[in-house]
Structure 1
Amino acid sequence: MFKFGNIYIIAAVAVIGGALFGFDISSMSAIISTQAYLCQFNQGGLDSDGKCVGPTPDVQGGVVAAMPGGSWLGALVSGFASDRFGRKTSIQIGAVIWVIGSVIVCASVNIPMLAVGRIINGFSVGICSAQVPVYITEIAPPTKRGRLVGFQQWAITWGILIMFFICYGCSYIDGTAAFRVPWGVQAVPAILLFCGLCVLPESPRWLAKKDRWEEAREVLALVHSHGNADSAWVRREMEEIREMVEFERQNADVTYFELFKPKMINRTMIGVFTQIWSQLTGMNVMMYYITYVFTMAGLASDDGTGVLLPSGIQFVINVVMTVPALLWMDRWGRRPTLLIGAFFMCLWLCVNAGLFATYGKPATGNHNAAVSMSITGAPAKAVIASTYLFVASFAPTWGPVSWAYPPELYPLRVRGKAVALATSSNWAFNFALAYFVPPAFANIQWRTYVIFAVFCAAMFIHVFFMFPETANKPLEEVEQIFDDTKPGAIKYIGTPAWKTRNTRAAVLKQERDQLASDEKIDAAAHKESVNA
């Protein structure tokens, strides 16, 4: 069967799995403030103006959190599925599950049915979000790896934006079709993902791990040398993969417990906290509940659609500001990008907290309890501006890097389960925060921003002291960064994390020199075969 070998086509199809999460974020944030949704799932009766109040803050938090709750379980299970069935097949399994969940969500008539459908959708997102980065990491060249894995985050932002405009258009439809149509349409990208993966190759490193050496060679040739399986580059890459596979087979079968042994615990914690910190920035919470923030800033209309267009601006910013990372993330390196993002996000969160604390007033009337504050005039405009700047700070930093960084930390033998564990922690904290924010806005109000600002300050310190630079290093070479000197004492080889550097210039020079050498070798071999 024909297979595409262009690495950008491979990445573009695979990261549709990320778009599924984006569709979910946007479909909830754009719908939860509309009257059609509030009346269908109404628990609070009618307010003083005769409008539906909708679910209570606790229940709304639970509905939103159902998806990341399912994602936590899906991410953990994906490690076993990926090791057994392959990276590509496990993503296809996730696509099928997403379609099933979308059907249930679309047909929901009450809150329990909606929550069950979102749990199933989350299970799918957990599988795809964990294994898409692994798949791309194992098939991409080192100097393009960060950019290509970063496409996952860009796909998420596109999913958010596309679904937002679908929801915005459907908000003018009368009745429950205003939210059923978007929830049904979100099954389409999963169908495209499943079909698109049918014409993509499997990970060569997974094939080698399963002793399918000839297939692994064919994939490397297809993706990296225009189908020439006898090129010097393919031979060298196969030798490196063979050495790593044979070395890893001397060890016992991989379990999750191995990730917490002395030789692995350091990088396990780095990978896990990369995903945890990406949630504790508050970005996904900002996406889910942005309509609450803009309602407090006075942008709401009677039917709940007045906040949708300002929310759409935020989603556009998210898409556009992810592009610089795709172009230059491998040049910037992982550490500087994470540090700069943490600093600026902390700054804008502090600005919002200060504005609400100084100029905000308690909201009046019988309404959604999570919309607990009201701010008007110039301070309200400043809240909106700093919210946009917060998104612009996350999009080119923690957004793409949090997906690209963890798969680079681990050896092949444990990579599937290690990335699954890291991604599961992402979804565990996504679940907790999605449930936490509506009651937090209702009870501690502007102090919610202070909590996330403190998290951003903590992640800056953690990254500075503990996260080494992995950009542009071959996956087999990253193994040399970590070393255990004795049981219980773990350190980096050579220099501490804050002194590690991005070696992009050296790697590019080495690749150019190696390419020239490979061309000479191939030319000599061709000449010898002709003479013979």
Structure 2
Amino acid sequence: MAPSPAPLNSSETSPLLPKISNRDMRRASSDSSSASNMRSTKPTAEQVVVTDAGNTITKPRDNGLDEAIQLEHDLSFLDACKLYPAAIGWSAFVSLGVIMLAFDPQLLGNLYATPQFQKDFGYLFEGDYIISAPWQTGLSMGNPVGQVIGALVAGYPMERYGRKLTFGICVVLTSVLIFIQFFARSLEVLLVGELLGGLVLGCYAVIAPAYSSEVCPMAIRGVLTSYVNLCFVMGQLLANGVCAGTSKLNDHWAYSIPFTLQWFWCLIILPGLLWLPESPWWLVRKGRYTDAEAVLKRLSSEKVNVSQTLAVIIETDRLEQELEMGSTYWDCFKGVNLRRTEISVGVYCTQVLSGIYLINYGTYFFQLAGLPTEDAFSMGIGFLAVGFLGTVVSWPLIVRYGRRSIYNSGLAVLIVLQLIIGILDCIPGRPTGVIWAQSSLMLVWNFFYDISIGPVCFVIISEASATRVRSKSIALATAAQGALGCVMTVAIPYMINPDEANMQGKLGFFFGGLAALCFVWAYLRVPETKGRTYEELDLLFERKVPTRAFKAYRIDGTTHET
């Protein structure tokens, strides 16, 4: 999130935030400490009530803050786009790192179906060259292992040095490690390049949603955090398109050219880093209020009262300190943060358990299903093209209907589609019509994935976590899904390879069953977070509001009701 918009009249100018001295900050801290020990009997209209383990905490409330928060609630999506064009642009810029993250594993999945790569790195099996399941597992392990280790490592520099510097270091390291992949002529060297590259690529999955959620107002927060999913799709789509174009080459350029194109994104990102604004939320946590105000001015138009925006950020941070929400990994599991961490981890892991890792083997899967190589590559491109369309279609749905309903209904559709694919695979002889029907249903599956649990996941993990532990909460969720990804990376080659289980479409039963379990959990645990400021979400979780009551629950300065 970030900027709580407070538009001014065209004739007004944005007032400067009064300077806050160290003595004032110590006095505010002292007042907060005293307030946390008070017991209120009848709070006034200028107070916010927070229930904490049966105690009532009261704190003074600035009427200007309430006005700023109300303005943010009243801001429409289109007005937010007009007031925050720079925030939208920089959010999209940082998300470019996710394209690199998605490009790499998708590239490998396509290379397994590339004849020249199979010949140079594989072995003969029944007249055709293939890459053995153990080597497919080892090579593909770099990305999920990287997401586990890289995500957890990223949490520390993001909090200590900021989002901007951490992002820049990751891009530099990525550009260096691409050399290993480009010059690899053996599976052993390529494995080293994939593992080292994956460690850095895993950081982008944490940086992008955290940054997007901290530079944008509430009205466009859902769309810009879900844009991370579109970057995943674009990276995968580009990998499929490039490999489809180079797969017919009869020398090492059939796979060297795709590796080379990874430098393209580094060349775009590195110059832009010179102008990239830092997260205003991180600057406030570091006590750099003047820098935070300057950044907010860069992210918004002149019609936005950045002083009120900054005041809301400071107030939210103060509230979280008052509620004793720390900023370490351990704090993610303490008190109400445990529930918030569970939600973030759960929605991200559901992506893996519902079958998303099949996308990395999409072209190879279609090839094994019986489609000719050229048709398999075309189907792989179409597979991701409908995913691109689905993500774009999800944006107005997210703005209109929120998170919970889209997430749960989409997951239900995925379960049905997976089970139908599995049933079709049981038809004796698997005629050509069945093969095309299964392949087409996979396209439909990917459309509904990218209209629901794909993009909405990134919205939820950004909103469910407290601002002080957001980077670490997202890191834990990324690491958890990466760990599950490691399991799937080991299992899928053995399940689909012709020299192993050769399950083909029967994978629908496997992933459909896992997705059904995820649906039960999501229905019980995933709340509606649409239309809530970060302060309001803090209060909702602190009050232990039931999952299905989140949407209708009212937060009022004098009372609250469901």
Instruction: Give the shorter-chain TM-score range.
Output: 0.7 to 0.9
**How far apart, in 1, do the equivalents of 2:550 and 2:538 lie?**
14
1:95-141 CA deviation, whole Å, 9 max, x = no partner?
12222232211111222211221122212221111111111101110
**How far apart, in 2, do the equivalents of 1:24 and 1:308 lie?**
17
Shift of 1:266: 0.9
For the residue of structure 2 that corresponds to 1:396, the secondary structure is coil
- Structure 1 position 153 matched with structure 2 position 212: no
Identify the match of residue 300 of structure 1 among 364, 372, 376.
Answer: 372
2:355 maps to what in 1? 282
Shift of 1:502: 7.8
1:511 maps to what in 2? none
**How far apart, in 1, do the equivalents of 2:136 and 2:143 lie?**
12
TM-score, normalisation: structure 1: 0.83
TM-score, normalisation: structure 2: 0.79
Shift of 1:333: 0.8
- Structure 1 position 443 matched with structure 2 position 498: no
2:465 maps to what in 1? 410
Q: Alpha carbons of 1:157 and 1:148: their partners in 2 closer, same or farther (altered >3 Å)?
A: same
Q: Alpha carbons of 1:381 and 1:129: their partners in 2 closer, same or farther (altered >3 Å)?
A: same
Identify the match of residue 438 of structure 2 among 367, 371, 383.
Answer: 383
Tell me which amino acid in the other structure corresponds to 1:32.
Answer: Y
Contact 1:5 1:201 in 2 (8 A): no
Tell me which amino acid in the other structure corresponds to 1:198.
Answer: L
1:318 maps to what in 2? 387
2:270 maps to what in 1? 194
Shift of 1:306: 4.3
2:331 maps to what in 1? 258
Q: What is the total number of aligned residue pairs between the two structures?
A: 467
- Structure 1 position 467 matched with structure 2 position 526: yes
Shift of 1:149: 0.9
1:433 maps to what in 2? 488
**How far apart, in 2, do the equivalents of 1:99 and 1:332 lie?**
40
2:310 maps to what in 1? 238
* Identical residues among aligned pairs (%): 24
Shift of 1:263: 2.8
Unpaired segments of 5 or more residues in structure 1? 361-374, 485-491, 507-532
For the residue of structure 1 that corresponds to 2:528, the secondary structure is coil
Shift of 1:170: 1.3
Shift of 1:338: 0.8
Contact 1:102 1:117 in 2 (8 A): yes
Contact 1:5 1:222 in 2 (8 A): no
Shift of 1:394: 0.4
- Structure 1 position 458 matched with structure 2 position 530: no
Identify the match of residue 359 of structure 1 among 424, 428, 439.
Answer: 428
2:243 maps to what in 1? 167
Shift of 1:25: 3.5
**How far apart, in 2, do the equivalents of 1:357 and 1:497 lie?**
39
Greater mean deviation of Cα atoms: 152-161 or 73-82: 152-161
Alignment of 1:72-111 (within 5 A): 72-111=148-187
Identify the match of residue 217 of structure 1 among 293, 302, 308.
Answer: 293
Identify the match of residue 32 of structure 1 among 89, 112, 116.
Answer: 112
**How far apart, in 1, do the equivalents of 2:514 and 2:151 lie?**
24
Greater mean deviation of Cα atoms: 100-109 or 270-279: 100-109
1:342 maps to what in 2? 411
For the residue of structure 1 that corresponds to 2:542, the secondary structure is strand
Tell me how large the CA RMSD over aligned residues is.
Answer: 2.2
- Structure 1 position 419 matched with structure 2 position 480: no
1:218-276 CA deviation, whole Å, 9 max, x = no partner?
122222342x6xx6x32222222222334445658632122112332111111111111
1:138-190 CA deviation, whole Å, 9 max, x = no partner?
11100100101111111121122222222111112221110011011112113
Tell me which amino acid in the other structure corresponds to 1:264.
Answer: N
For the residue of structure 1 that corresponds to 2:439, the secondary structure is helix
- Structure 1 position 15 matched with structure 2 position 74: no
Contact 1:472 1:503 in 2 (8 A): no
Contact 1:16 1:190 in 2 (8 A): no
Contact 2:106 2:361 in 1 (8 A): no
Contact 1:106 1:184 in 2 (8 A): yes
**How far apart, in 2, do the equivalents of 1:170 and 1:159 lie?**
17
1:271-312 CA deviation, whole Å, 9 max, x = no partner?
1111111111112x22111223212332124xxx44211211
1:368-414 CA deviation, whole Å, 9 max, x = no partner?
xxxxxxx3322112111111111111011111111121121122221
1:497 maps to what in 2? 547
Tell me which amino acid in the other structure corresponds to 2:425.
Answer: F
Tell me which amino acid in the other structure corresponds to 1:473.
Answer: R
Shift of 1:28: 1.8
**How far apart, in 2, do the equivalents of 1:337 and 1:268 lie?**
20
Shift of 1:444: 6.8
